[in-house]
Amino acid sequence: MAVVRCVCYRKSFTELKQLATARGWTTSGQIATATNCTLGCGSCLPYITAMLDTGHTSFAVAEPGNAPRPCPPDPWDPA
């Protein structure tokens, strides 16, 4: 199962990447200020950080202590 969105605020990483590019955001703090993503449960923070670092928007579920790894999105997920 791929991780492709902030579940608390229902924002896909694809959408967040587009916003970050359009608005010049380069940090998870800027994304959090504008969208609240990372401020709910916080589980999307490492994925958003990885998105900013790699440009990828779909990740395998990360093991504790490991950075998220890019993976293909699940076929049923439109994000």
Which residues make beta-bridge pairs with 11? 6
Confidence of residue 1 (pLDDT cuts 50, 70, 90): confident
Give residue-wise pLDDT tens across range 14-29: 999 999 999 999 999 9
Residue 10: CA count within 13 A, CB half-sphere: 0
Q: What's the whole-model pTM score?
A: 0.92
User: Please, what's the largest Cα pairwise distance for the chain?
Assistant: 32
Give residue-wise pLDDT tens across range 38-58: 999 999 999 999 999 999 999
Backbone angles phi, psi at 30, to 5 degrees: -65, -40
Is 73 part of a structural domain of the chain? no
Is 27 part of a structural domain of the chain? yes
Domain span including residue 8: 2-60
What CATH number is attached to the domain comprising 20? 1.10.10
Residue with tokens 């999307």: 44
Q: How far apart are the C-alpha atoms of 31 and 78, rounded to whole Å?
A: 22
Inter-residue contact 18 to 75 (CB < 8 Å): no
Is 68 part of a structural domain of the chain? no
Is 49 part of a structural domain of the chain? yes
* Total number of domains constituting the chain: 1
Mean pLDDT of 65-73: 93
